[in-house]
């Protein structure tokens, strides 16, 4: 399944993108197990590693050619992916831009010309995507949104809803149905909505509600708006910082985010949680959906993978979010009965579905970590 705004690949472009996908799979299945043996053997000669700090181990590993080659292969595959996707998008950008010009929109997009994105987002190309989340070439530009949509499908190896990229949104709705079944939100807000894949997924379950999405990138939001329009969903997108929006106090019944927290610092997460509490009406619900930690906990291999994401895949907060006391931060922000666990992934939420919220993680893509509460 796809949607009209998704960039279309030619035969050769699809072959190139599938090659990158298969290269990533081959590395994960064939090369990573061998690399893991090297990491574990190297770590045995070192004192016990404290927390997520693997500085001494990193120094030992970097002295070995095979480890440096492994880092290079992983990073190069990411560069190849964005290059392949970007070339395909540029070929059809005029067509996509014309398609994004919706004459009778259901929703809206509001861009603030004076908006300044937080430096921790604007200072680097997150996921190594050229331009990161905030690159914008001016009025009408949607290229960065198209990059995230098509690139995300390849990056996730199709495991986040294929070309719809929306499983996290459906899973968040399922968590709401299971844990807060009495809530019938009339006004909904998606914080850090990116291209609106999760926004549209959640909005589809509440057609009578007013749904909003906020993020920092103008080109991303223009694309998100066009995407929602072509899918027949009324969503209002606003360029804003999730740490402090301009919405009035107690404006929403349901506020949520999908994989926003690992893109932020602890200081930013604290502000985001406080903003959620400010924005919710009494009785309203907040849900934060995040990547679950590895079922192996803090094994040395998990630490090395996190080290790669932070240092070489432009995810500087990847390791830090694993140390955050999310429940404690939620309580600090004013929420009391905080739920923390793992929601089984679903491509379609249902109030009648079997219970899928558990204290046990079944692994990345099989479930998503949830932190939620009612005000």
At 254, is the secondary structure helix, strand, or coil? strand
Specify the pLDDT at position 157. 85
pLDDT at 297 over 80: no
Between the alpha carbon of residue 234 and those of residues 214, 313, 360, the distances in Å are 14, 34, 36
SS3 state of residue 364: strand
Share of the chain above pLDDT 70, in %: 98
The pLDDT of residue 50 is: 57
Instruction: Give the per-residue pLDDT at 295.
Output: 67
Query: Is residue 81 very low, low, confident or very high in pLDDT (cuts 50, 70, 90)?
Result: very high
Structure-block tokens of residue 278 = 């400010």
Percent of the chain, pLDDT > 90? 89
Compute the distance between CA of residue 347 and CA of residue 330 in angstroms, rounded to an integer. 28
**Structure confidence by residue, pLDDT tens digits, 91-112:** 999 999 999 999 999 999 999 9
Token reading at 194: 């990116």
Question: For residue 311, what are its two tokens?
Answer: 């240092």
The per-residue pLDDT for 111 is 98
> What torsion do the CA atoms of 261, 200, 226, 158 make, to the nearest 10 degrees?
70
The 3-class secondary structure across 82-110, one letter per residue, is: HHHHHHHHHHHHHHHHHHCCCCCCCCEEE
pLDDT at 46: 84
Cα 174 to Cα 350: distance, rounded to the nearest angstrom: 6
In this model, does residue 43 exceed pLDDT 60?
A: yes
Identify the band that residue 170 occupies on the pLDDT scale cut at 50, 70 and 90.
Answer: very high
Q: Is the pLDDT of residue 20 over 60?
A: yes
Mean pLDDT of 158-184: 96
E strands, the chain, in order: 108-110, 187-191, 210-215, 235-239, 252-258, 280-290, 339-344, 357-358, 367-374
Q: Residue 351: is its pLDDT beyond 80?
A: yes
Is residue 179 scored above 80 in pLDDT?
yes
pLDDT at 88: 98
pLDDT tens track for 319-350? 888 788 999 999 999 999 999 999 999 999 99
Render pLDDT for 223-254 as a digit per residue (tens, 0 to 9).
999 999 999 999 999 999 999 999 999 999 99
* Count of structural domains within the chain: 1
Cα–Cα distance measured from residue 279 to residue 282, given in angstroms and rounded to the nearest whole number: 10
Name the average pLDDT for the chain.
95
Domain that holds residue 303: 1-375
Q: Which residue has the tokens 């995407």?
A: 227
Query: Which pLDDT value is given to residue 145?
Result: 98
Q: CA-to-CA distance for 177 and 161, rounded, in angstroms?
A: 20
Angle, alpha carbons 126-129-134 (nearest 5°): 65
- Quickly state the pLDDT bin for 296 (edges 50, 70, 90): low
Tell me the C-alpha distance between 326 and 319, whole Å. 14
CB atoms within 10 A of CB 181: 9
Contact of 246 with 277, CB cutoff 8 Å: no
**CATH value at residue 206:** 3.40.50.150
Q: What is the pLDDT of residue 333?
A: 97
Predicted pLDDT at 228 = 98
pTM: 0.96
Strands 235-239, 252-258: pairing kind: unpaired
Q: Is the pLDDT of residue 119 over 70?
A: yes
Contact 342, 368 (CB under 8 A): yes
Q: Tell me: the pLDDT tens digits for 265-288?
A: 999 999 999 999 999 999 999 999
Q: Can you tell me the mean pLDDT for 24-40? A: 96
The C-alpha atoms of residue 91 and residue 279 are separated, in whole angstroms, by 42
**Residue 208, strand partner residues:** none
Q: What is the mean pLDDT of residues 187-215?
A: 98
Phi (first) and psi of residue 213, to 5 degrees: -135, 135
* 246: exposed, middle or buried (Cβ count in 10 Å: 0-12, 13-18, 19+): exposed
**CA-CA distance, 262 to 291, in Å (whole number)?**
8
Cα(97)–Cα(36) distance, integer angstroms: 45
């Amino acid at each position: 399944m796809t949607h009209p705004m998704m960039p279309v690949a030619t035969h050769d472009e699809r072959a190139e993108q599938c090659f990158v996908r298969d290269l990533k799979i081959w590395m994960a299945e064939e090369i990573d197990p061998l690399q893991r043996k090297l990491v574990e053997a190297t770590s045995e000669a070192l004192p016990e590693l404290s927390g997520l700090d693997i500085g001494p181990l990193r120094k030992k590993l970097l002295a070995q050619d095979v480890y440096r080659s492994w880092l290079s292969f992983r990073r190069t595959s990411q560069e190849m992916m964005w290059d392949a996707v970007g070339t395909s998008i540029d070929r059809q950008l005029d067509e996509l831009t014309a398609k994004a010009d919706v004459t009778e929109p259901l929703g809206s997009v509001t861009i603030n010309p004076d908006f300044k994105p937080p430096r921790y987002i604007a200072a680097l190309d997150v996921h190594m995507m050229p331009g990161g989340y905030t690159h914008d070439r001016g009025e009408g530009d949607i290229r960065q949104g198209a990059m995230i949509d098509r690139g995300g499908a390849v990056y996730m190896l199709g495991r986040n809803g294929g070309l719809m990229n929306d499983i996290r949104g459906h899973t968040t709705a399922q968590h709401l149905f299971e844990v807060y079944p009495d809530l019938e939100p009339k006004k909904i807000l998606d914080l850090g909505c990116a291209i609106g894949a999760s926004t549209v997924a959640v909005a589809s379950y509440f057609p009578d509600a007013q749904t909003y999405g906020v993020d920092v990138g103008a080109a991303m939001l223009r694309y998100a708006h066009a995407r929602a329009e072509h899918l027949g969903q009324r969503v209002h997108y606003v360029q804003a910082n999730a740490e402090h929006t301009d919405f009035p106090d107690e404006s929403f019944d349901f506020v949520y985010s999908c994989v926003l927290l690992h893109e932020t610092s602890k200081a930013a997460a604290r502000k985001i949680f406080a903003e959620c509490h400010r924005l919710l009406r009494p009785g309203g619900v907040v849900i934060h959906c995040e990547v679950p930690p590895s079922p192996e906990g803090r094994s040395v291999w998990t630490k090395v993978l996190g080290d790669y994401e932070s240092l070489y895949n432009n995810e500087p907060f990847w390791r830090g979010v694993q140390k955050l006391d999310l429940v404690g931060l939620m309580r600090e922000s004013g929420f009391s009965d905080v739920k923390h666990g793992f929601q089984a992934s679903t491509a379609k939420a249902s109030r009648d579905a079997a219970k899928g919220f558990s204290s046990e993680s079944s692994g990345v893509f099989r479930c998503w970590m949830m932190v939620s509460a009612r005000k």
